[in-house]
Amino acid sequence: MKHKTKKGRKPRNFTIKKRIHHSKSRRIQHGGALHVELGQDRRAIDGHHYNIIQTQTYEDGSPEFIYYGRAKAIYSASLQICRESERCQDPEPSYLADGKGTLMQFAQDGSFTLYEGRFVNQTKTGRGKMSYFAAIPLISDQFRQFRTMDDLTGITPEQLAELTSELSQHTPYMVDEGNWENDTMSGLGKLTFANGAFYKGRFENGFMSGSGTLRQTDGSVYKGKFSNNAMSGFGKMTYANGDVYVGHWQNNMKSGRGQMRYNNGHVFFGTWHNDHPAPTVFGRVVNEAEPTPAVFTAVDPNALAGFQNSANIFGPS
């Protein structure tokens, strides 16, 4: 029987630590269902891996998450004490996602994520791909055809593969692909946006950090250092209009020593502050047609013609 929860409860985090009897399929609390392929085993063996399916629904019957893939059976180490008048029941395992699997998580507004990759002890760890989708019209109808009960209990591996393939045909607005540690991107990876922007390089705890390449929506390309999703450190920006800046950055702005070579042939090298040449520090503008550089403390506005602000590294949506 489906247990009721308080109205307006927040969506629970993905978990498959659920109990199961020796039968291959059983309803579980909060509208979820767990299916385990035991194969030749009479019952799950502690530490062994099995193919499982788990579903979870919101109170209105719409899906909250679906997981299918490899999982490890875990039995509690606590001793079972039974009264003489009662019959002892066999212990029941929990299951931890461990190995290759697919996790679909759905918000009640219809938006959802699709992760395909490896898990270690319930966390996304190893090579994986996460796609982010906006709400898809008629997604409820797509799920309704797979239901045999209001909590997706009867969904089969074949139906799940069909559902995954169907949902994957929609265009995600963002895709994370690469190495994962403890549910976040860490190490080498790629972040791609539907508007054409992308980042390829190193991540740390889910943030762009380290060396990488960023292509913006207008075609500008930055190669250099990042910190917490921002261009910070030494790097080179090639703007769409042909301007090229090589130097230091801080929080997506040119800051420190650097050189800007403009598409009209002018070059400024000196100190930058908040994305502009610092007016209180001497720098030089070099006109390649002149043998002697001019020294100045205020930038010639003509030299900055076509300058693009890089405060928003991803550009307009």
Contact at 8 Å (CB) between 176 and 124?
Answer: no
Confidence at residue 311, expressed as pLDDT on a 0 to 100 scale: 33
Q: Give every CB contact of residue 17 below 8 A, 6+ residues apart in sequence.
A: 94, 95, 96, 122
User: Domain residue spans in the chain?
Assistant: 1-172, 180-317
Contact at 8 Å (CB) between 151 and 99?
Answer: no
Report the C-alpha gap between 19 and 11 in whole angstroms: 20
CA 79 to chain centre: 40
Given a cut of 80, whether residue 89 has pLDDT beyond it is no
Computed over every residue of the chain, the mean pLDDT equals 76
**Burial per residue of 219-256, b for 16 or more beta-carbon CB atoms within 10 angstroms, e otherwise:** ebebbbbbbebbbbbebbbbbeeebebbbbbbebbbbe
> What pTM does this model have?
0.74
Closest CA to 74 of 118, 157, 126, 15: 15
Contact at 8 Å (CB) between 223 and 213?
Answer: yes
Residue 280: burial class (beta carbons within 10 Å; 0-12, 13-18, 19+): exposed
Report the C-alpha gap between 184 and 47 in whole angstroms: 25
- The beta-strand segments (E) located in 138-197 are 174-181, 184-193
What tokens does 50 get?
């099995």
Given a cut of 90, whether residue 277 has pLDDT beyond it is no
Report the C-alpha gap between 48 and 43 in whole angstroms: 11
Specify the amino acid at residue 175: V
Q: Give every CB contact of residue 131 below 8 A, 6+ residues apart in sequence.
A: 113, 114, 115, 168, 172, 174, 175
Report the C-alpha gap between 228 and 207 in whole angstroms: 5
Torsion, CA 196, CA 201, CA 203, CA 206, rounded to 10: 10
What tokens does 239 get?
């703007």
* CATH code of the region 180-317: 2.20.110.10
Given a cut of 90, whether residue 125 has pLDDT beyond it is yes
What digits encode the pLDDT tens for the residues 38-73? 888 888 999 999 999 988 877 777 778 889 999 999
Over range 231-247, report the average pLDDT. 95
Report the C-alpha gap between 272 and 253 in whole angstroms: 9
Per the model's pLDDT, the better-predicted residue between 177 and 19 turns out to be: 177
Residue 85: burial class (beta carbons within 10 Å; 0-12, 13-18, 19+): exposed
Confidence at residue 288, expressed as pLDDT on a 0 to 100 scale: 42
- pLDDT bin (cut points 50, 70, 90) of residue 35 is confident
Given a cut of 80, whether residue 103 has pLDDT beyond it is yes
Given a cut of 90, whether residue 248 has pLDDT beyond it is yes
Over range 228-244, report the average pLDDT. 95
Report the C-alpha gap between 149 and 60 in whole angstroms: 13
Given a cut of 90, whether residue 220 has pLDDT beyond it is yes
Report the C-alpha gap between 118 and 124 in whole angstroms: 6
Report the C-alpha gap between 125 and 275 in whole angstroms: 38
